[in-house]
Amino acid sequence: MNWGRKIAQGAMAAALAAPMMAGLGTAASAETTLRVVMHSDLKIVDPIWTTAYMSRNYGYMVYDTLFAMDENTNIHPQMVDSYTVSDDKKTYTFTLRDGLAWHDGAPVTSEDCIASIKRWAKKDGMGQKLMEFVKEMKAVDAKTFQMVLNEPYGLVTTSLAKPSSNVPFMMPKRVADTSADEQITDYTGSGPFIFKADEWRPGDVAVFAKNTAYVPRKEPASWGSGGKVVNVDRVEWISIKDHQTAVNALIEGEVDYLESPPTDLLPLMEGAEGVTAKILNPLGNQFMFRLNHLHPPFDNVKIRRAALAAIDQIGFLQAVIGNPDYYKECPAMFVCGTSLATDKGAEIIMKSDIPLAKKLLAEAGYDGTPVVVMQSTDVDVLNNLGPVAADKLKRAGFNVDLQAMDWQTLVSRRSKKEKPADGGWNVFMTSWTAADILNPIMAAGFRANCGDAWFGWPCDAEMEKLRDRFARETNPDEQKLIAVDIQVRALEIATHANAGQWYGPSAWRSDRVSDVIGGPMPIFWNLSKK
**254 lies in the site for other proteins, by CB under 8 A:** yes
According to DSSP, residue 194 is labeled E
Of these, 196, 243, 344, 512, which contacts other proteins (CB under 8 A)? 243
Strands (E), 4-106: 33-37, 67-69, 75-77, 80-85, 91-96
Q: How many residues does the chain have?
A: 530
Smallest distance from the beta carbon of 258 to other proteins, in angstroms?
A: 13
- CB atoms near residue 278 (< 10 Å): 12
Q: Say whether residue 52 binds other proteins (CB under 8 A).
A: yes
Q: How far is the CB of 406 from other proteins (least distance, A)?
A: 6
Cβ atoms within 10 Å of 409's Cβ, excluding its own: 15
Is 452 a binding residue for other proteins by CB under 8 A? The answer is: yes
Q: Which is nearer to other proteins, 221 or 393 (CB)?
A: 393
Choose the stretch contacting other proteins; rule: CB under 8 A; options: 26-34, 202-210, 476-484, 492-500. Answer: 202-210
Angle at 207 between CA 223 and CA 406, to 5 degrees: 80
Nearest-angstrom CA–CA distance, 364 and 303: 6
Range in contact with other proteins (rule: CB under 8 A) among 86-94, 109-117, 198-206, 335-343: 198-206
312 binding other proteins? (CB under 8 A): no
**How would you classify the pairing of strands 193-195 and 205-210?**
antiparallel
DSSP codes of every residue in 403-414: EEE-HHHHHHHH
Among 66, 155, 265, 490, binds other proteins (CB under 8 A): 265
> Which range in 318-326, 354-362, 486-494, 506-514 contacts other proteins by CB under 8 A?
318-326
Residue 205 interacts with other proteins (CB under 8 A)? yes
Residues 236 and 200: their CA atoms lie apart, in Å, by 10
Identified binder of other proteins from the candidate list 34, 36, 45, 463, rule CB under 8 A: 45
Piece in contact with other proteins (CB under 8 A), picked from 40-48, 57-65, 102-110, 458-466: 40-48
| Residue 481 near other proteins by CB under 8 A | no
The SS3 of residue 243 is helix
Write the interaction track for other proteins spanning residues 58-87; mark x where CB under 8 A is met and - where it is not.
------------------------------
Nearest distance from C-beta of residue 15 to other proteins, angstroms: 21
Distance CA 355, CA 22 (A): 78
Q: Are 202 and 471 in contact (CB under 8 A)?
A: no
The pairing of beta strand 75-77 with beta strand 496-502? unpaired
CA torsion sign for 46, 162, 435, 208 is positive
Specify the stretch interacting with other proteins by CB under 8 A; choose among 135-143, 212-220, 234-242, 489-497: 234-242
Cβ within 8 Å of residue 92, ≥6 positions away: 83, 84, 85, 86, 146, 147, 148, 149, 156
Tell me how far the alpha carbon of residue 342 is from its chain's centroid: 22
Is residue 377 at the binding interface for other proteins, with CB under 8 A as the rule? yes
Q: How many residues bind other proteins (CB under 8 A)?
A: 70
Q: Residue 107 CB, nearest distance to other proteins (Å)?
A: 28
Helix, strand, or coil (residue 289): strand
Q: Does 185 bind other proteins (CB under 8 A)?
A: yes
Instruction: Verify binding: residue 387, other proteins, rule CB under 8 A.
Output: yes
Q: Which amino acid is at 185?
A: T
Q: Exactly one of 432, 446, 503, 524 binds other proteins (CB under 8 A); which one? A: 432
**Cα–Cα distance, 486 to 466 (Å, whole number):** 6
Q: Closest distance between other proteins and the C-beta of residue 225, in Å?
A: 23
- Should residue 446 be labelled a site residue for other proteins when binding is judged by CB under 8 A? no
**Residue 35 DSSP label:** E
Q: Is 163 in the site for other proteins (CB under 8 A)?
A: no
What count of other Cβ atoms lies within 10 Å of the Cβ of residue 459? 17
Segment 113 to 132, residues that bind other proteins, using CB under 8 A: 123, 125
* CB of residue 112 to other proteins, shortest distance in Å: 22
- Can you tell me the distance from the alpha carbon of 517 to that of 525, in angstroms, rounded to the nearest whole number? 8
487 contacts other proteins (rule: CB under 8 A): no
Q: Does 135 bind other proteins (CB under 8 A)?
A: no
Name which of 280, 286, 279 is nearest 334 in CA terms.
Answer: 286
Out of 7, 140, 408, 418, which residue is the one contacting other proteins (CB under 8 A)?
408
Q: Please answer whether residues 36 and 236 qualify as being in contact, where contact means their C-beta atoms are separated by less than 8 angstroms.
A: yes
Main-chain phi, psi angles of 248, to 5 degrees:
-60, -45
Q: Is 252 in the site for other proteins (CB under 8 A)?
A: yes
Among 79-87, 143-151, 383-391, 472-480, the segment contacting other proteins (CB under 8 A): 383-391
Which residue, 322 or 397, is less far from other proteins as judged by CB? 322
Report in angstroms how near the CB of residue 455 gets to other proteins at its nearest.
7
Which residues on neighbouring strands pair with residue 429, listed in sequence order? Answer: 289
Q: Would you count residue 405 as binding other proteins (CB under 8 A)?
A: yes
Candidates 186, 236, 343, 378: give the one binding other proteins (CB under 8 A): 378
What's the distance, CA 84 to chain centroid?
A: 29
Beta bridge partners of 235: 34, 208
Complex with other proteins: residue 52 or 139, whichever CB lies closer: 52
**Is 449 near other proteins (CB under 8 A)?**
no
Angle value at C-alpha 309, between 307 and 310, nearest 5 degrees = 65
Could you list the residues that contact other proteins (CB under 8 A)?
A: 41, 43-45, 50-53, 55, 123, 125, 165, 181-183, 185, 201-205, 239-245, 248-249, 252, 254, 262, 264-265, 267-268, 315, 318-319, 322, 375, 377-378, 380, 383-384, 387-388, 391, 402-406, 408-409, 411-415, 423, 430, 432, 436, 444, 452, 454-455
